[in-house]
Structure 1
Amino acid sequence: MDVSVSALRAELKQWIEAARTGEDVVITERGIPVARLSGIESADLLTRLERDGLLTPATETRPPARGGDKAAAKGGVSDLVRRLRR
């Protein structure tokens, strides 16, 4: 739903309520989109990217760490970076 800056100022409470219910409110200035108002619950980045077609969910499960060693998997990215820098 699009709303101009002037209408947003005049009816701010109404637009906040629309965002709270999950509606994305696009704020325009002279017809050009400049910002988006969205509710906290609807602001989940992964959900938005999937909805917009920019991200697709994984279709396969993640492979185990090399050799199945769970201790190696606990280190995460920081341990990987340290190993690569050696």
Structure 2
Amino acid sequence: MDVPVSALRAELRQWIEMARTGQDVVITERGIPVARLSGIESADLLTRLERDGLLTPASVPRPAARPGERPAAARGGVSDLVRRLRR
């Protein structure tokens, strides 16, 4: 369901309730989609990917970082790649 930004501002509680019931609310600005409001149950992407068989959980635990080692994101890890791809 699409909603203009102006209507979202005026009736925010109503649109949050719609998202809570499972409906995706697409927020538009001058008719162009700019954001999506969805209920928290539908926001867990990893759970959905596992359920759909598109992602397999790790079979062994991830090793702990060594002291002084930079986090994976700072080294250009997967999360950095995803951030760049979403731009």
Q: Please give the root-mean-square deviation of Cα atoms over the aligned residues, in Å.
A: 2.9
Structure-to-structure mapping, 1:1-80, within 5 angstroms? 1-46=1-46, 47=48, 57=53, 73-74=60-61, 76=62
Q: What is the percent sequence identity of the aligned residues? A: 71
Write out per-residue CA displacement over residues 48-73 of structure 1, whole angstroms, 9 at most, x where no aligned residue.
xx5xxxxx515xxx9x8xxxxxxxx4
**Uncovered stretches (5+) of structure 2, i.e. residues with no partner:** 66-87
The normalised TM-score by structure 2 is 0.56
Gaps (5+ residues) in structure 1? 51-55, 65-72, 80-86
SS of the residue corresponding to residue 22 of structure 1 reads: coil
Larger helix proportion, structure 1 or 2? 1
Runs of 4+ in 1 over 4 A off after TM superposition: none
Bigger Rg over Cα: 1
TM-score by length of 1: 0.57
Q: Secondary structure at the match of 2:33?
A: strand
